Chains A and B, each alone.
Chain A
Amino acid sequence: MRNPLSKTIVEIEPSGIRKFFDIVSEMEDAVSLGVGEPDFDTPWHIRDEGIYSLEKGRTFYTSNSGLKELRMEIARYLKRHYDLDYDYNDEIFVTVGGSEAIDLAMRAMLDPGDEVLIPQPSYVSYLPCAVLANGTPVTIELKAENEFRLTAEQLEAAVTPKTKLLILPFPNNPTGAIMEKSNLEAVAEVIRRHDLYVLSDEIYSELTYLEHHVSIASLPGMWERTIVINGFSKSHAMTGWRLGYACGPKKIIEQMLKIHQFAIMCAPTTSQYAAVEALRNGDGDVKQMREEYNGRRRYLLHRFKEMGLECFEPFGAFYAFPCIKEFGMTSDEFATRLLNAKKVAVVPGTAFGASGEGYIRISYAYSIESLKLALGRIEEFINELRKKE
């Protein structure tokens, strides 16, 4: 029989972290700080709209680009929150989560040989998506001393004549790093000078704790070279609804929409009706959740300080990225031993790229009680390690 498989697909490395997650899920009494989604339920008024839309029999496809009402609400929301101007007609469309939009953007923008700059540590799908789009991924190693922000120097050093697209994943999963306006301005100058495009993944934009999130697309000369990706998963605790969106210049959006049309048809209708409600009446929920996360964040950092665990202050998302280099083991080893010894699950930093070595990702999408319990065990674990030395 002939080999049924595509060489490109087979050559993409499977996520190594799966095996670790399987062990965690088998462990009965494990305490997890590993989950990457909100612990809040979707606010009831949003769920209610979803139910209502089902009751009314709104069970058909929507237009490929999504409900007009929803796109209009997205346009208003982006203007209201980030001063971004997009025409709901042809500069915004609704996707199955932010992750679909990442895939589409790369497929629409890359030709074989085009280099895609991917700052790491970052979300796991950028690299395989670049490969699937026939692009050549080039990673940029973000540094702890820069609080895992991307600097203009690092970007400059990574650019070659083949560079076409920069992925900008801030607020960042797994580090919790953000890019402040001045950081973005420095990077934007390099982007414009080298005529690059940007895929700005802003899925955590509502979860920033220092100042209001700034989108790179709102800087001068950047709108026309940026695709902004956002969605409802993190801001409105709607992960399971699978709903995101992409915005950008019509020229790019219409090509992305073409792939979406053939591969997906449209995002789930029920979710879209719920999302209209989320944008119309959900700003209060978002604020309340952000405040709750911020309280946990402060608590987490306070506990790190108490146990002498080195960690830069993360100002975004719901992750902290403490350094575990003092224990002289790899992130993988640390996470495995912590799980076996104390039944606490964290994600090794290397799951997000080689530059995550020496770090672990701790999620604070957990109640303070759960954090307290898990952090108590982590403290025991590291104290035991320190004693042995």
Chain B
Amino acid sequence: MREKILTYIEKNSKINLAELAIALGVEETALLAEIEAMENEHIICGYPTLINWDKAGIETVTALIEVRVTPQRGMGFDKVAERIYNYPEVNSIYLISGGFDFMVTIEGKTLREVSQFVSEKLSTLDTVLSTKTNFILKKYKDHGTVMAAPAKDERIMMI
């Protein structure tokens, strides 16, 4: 049942739980208990909102930063990641296979804010060897959702 619940709420965290219980054919109390358990187990880690900031007319800048590091003795990558993700400016951080080590995304209000973070905070960390900052120009799809408005139902009545 967990996988089914997660599939539904991954797409819509605001789904009406009474209706979801009906759709899944389970008792609402059982569904609520299962969701709470998954929250406690940190399987469900949060319910953020997917926002099209462009459409809201509010300027934001997102950067994908490729970071190369030297893992410190006794620290490994996890410790380095922790140093980085503790900055509130960091939106996400992934350990990556390939030409660099971490992919860090930063969201800021202005270009200046983002570059300041990179040059003053990220680059100056002892373990960081190099950074390469890529600014996002346009967001087409995020979290499996296309940012453009969904197409109208063009089906016609036919038997």
Interface of A with B (CB < 8 Å)? Answer: 15, 17, 21, 24-25, 32, 34-37, 39, 123-124, 173-174, 291, 295-296, 298-299, 302, 345, 347, 351-352, 368, 372
Contacts and interface: CB of A to CB of B under 8 A. Distances in A.
A21 B19 contact: no
Contact of A21 (B23, B25, B153, B157): B157
A24 B155 CA distance: 12
B1 to A, nearest CB: 12
Given A35-B153, A302-B22, A351-B159, 15 more contacts: A17-B159, A21-B156, A21-B157, A25-B157, A32-B157, A35-B156, A37-B155, A124-B159, A296-B23, A298-B25, A299-B19, A345-B157, A347-B159, A352-B159, A368-B19
25 contacts: A21-B157, A21-B158, A24-B157, A25-B156, A35-B153, A35-B155, A35-B156, A36-B158, A36-B159, A37-B158, A39-B153, A39-B155, A124-B159, A291-B4, A295-B8, A295-B23, A298-B24, A299-B22, A299-B23, A302-B22, A347-B157, A352-B159, A368-B19, A368-B23, A372-B19
The 6 lowest CB-CB distance pairs between A and B, nearest first, are A295-B23, A21-B157, A35-B155, A34-B157, A302-B22, A299-B22
A32 B157 CA distance: 8
A299 B23 CA distance: 5
Contacts, number: 48
A35 B157 contact: yes
Interface of B: 4, 8, 19, 22-25, 153, 155-159
Contacts of B25: 298
Contacts of B22: 298-299, 302
A372 B15 CA distance: 13
Contacts of B157: 21, 24-25, 32, 34-36, 345, 347
Contacts of B19: 299, 368, 372
Nearest to B25: A298
Contacts of A24: 157
A296 to B, nearest CB: 7
Nearest to B24: A295
Nearest to B155: A35
The winner among B4, B24, B156, B159 for most chain A CB atoms within 10 A is B159
- Most B Cβ at <10 Å: residue of A174, A296, A302: A302
B159 A15 contact: yes
A345 B23 CA distance: 23
Given A39-B153, A291-B4, A298 B23 contact: yes
A296 B8 CA distance: 12
B26 to A, nearest CB: 10
Contacts of A302: 22
B17 to A, nearest CB: 13
A351 B157 CA distance: 12
A148 B133 CA distance: 65
A358 to B, nearest CB: 18
Contacts of A296: 23
B158 A35 contact: yes
Nearest to A21: B157
A24 B158 CA distance: 11
A223 to B, nearest CB: 30
Among A36, A123, A345, find the residue whose CB has the most chain B CB atoms closer than 10 A: A36
A34 B157 CA distance: 6
Contacts of B4: 291
A295 B25 CA distance: 8
B15 to A, nearest CB: 8
A298 B21 CA distance: 10
A70 B52 CA distance: 43
Nearest to B157: A21
A372 B23 CA distance: 12
B5 to A, nearest CB: 11
A15 B157 CA distance: 13
A295 B21 CA distance: 9
